[in-house]
Structure formats: structure tokens, C-alpha cells
């Protein structure tokens, strides 16, 4: 069985449809895969009043309903970590 880590922004219906297509084929026995986790770069607290947030929340709900572990890390945090790893850490070793 192939293990697939699923990476998605979850920003629209197409993201949900793609995940459901693969999940449906897995359940039908057409694909011998397991999806142990989904990684997304959005946390529910980010921009809760936007249309994008509604779409991404629907994606998170789908992942949970399927029983897949959800790893959600804010894009803002990822950007800060990248800045930290690219700028601050190298300065520590000068």
C-alpha cells in the first residue's frame, strides 16, 4: 500500500473534489493507497470573515469527516520560520 501525504491550501471546492476523488477510488478498491495526513497552510483563526476562510474551513471539515489527521500551520508562521532560518540562524554562525 502506498502512503500519501496530502498537501493542499484547501482554498476552494476543487481542493475538496480532488481529495474526494482519490478517497472514493481508495474506498472502491481502485487505488491501494492510504492518506495518513493532510497538511494545509491555513489555521481556522486566520481571516475568519473572508470567503476564502469559509472554503478552507469546509476543507478542514472534510478532512476530519474522513478521519484523516490534519496538520494546519499558518502561512504567516511558515513565512516567519523561513525568515528565521534564512536570516537569523546564519547570523548566529558568522
pLDDT in tens, 28-67: 999 999 999 998 888 777 666 777 788 889 999 999 999 9
By the 10 Å C-beta count (0-12 exposed, 13-18 middle, 19+ buried), 40 is classed as buried
Beta bridge partners of 34: 3
Strands 33-40 and 69-72: parallel
pLDDT at 71: 87
Its sign, for the CA torsion 73, 64, 57, 6, is: positive
CA angle 21, 27, 30 (to 5 degrees): 75
Please report which confidence band the pLDDT of residue 70 belongs to, taking 50, 70 and 90 as the band edges.
very high
Determine if the pTM surpasses 0.85. no
Please report which confidence band the pLDDT of residue 94 belongs to, taking 50, 70 and 90 as the band edges.
very low
Amino acid at each position: 500500500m502506498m502512503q500519501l501525504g496530502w498537501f493542499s491550501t484547501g482554498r476552494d471546492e476543487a481542493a475538496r473534489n480532488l481529495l474526494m476523488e482519490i478517497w472514493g477510488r481508495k474506498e472502491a478498491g481502485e487505488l491501494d493507497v492510504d492518506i495518513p495526513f493532510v497538511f494545509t497552510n491555513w489555521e481556522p483563526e486566520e481571516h475568519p470573515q473572508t470567503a476564502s476562510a469559509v472554503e478552507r474551513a469546509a476543507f478542514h471539515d472534510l478532512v476530519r469527516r474522513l478521519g484523516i489527521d490534519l496538520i494546519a500551520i499558518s502561512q504567516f508562521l511558515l513565512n516567519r520560520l523561513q525568515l528565521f532560518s534564512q536570516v537569523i540562524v546564519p547570523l548566529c554562525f558568522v
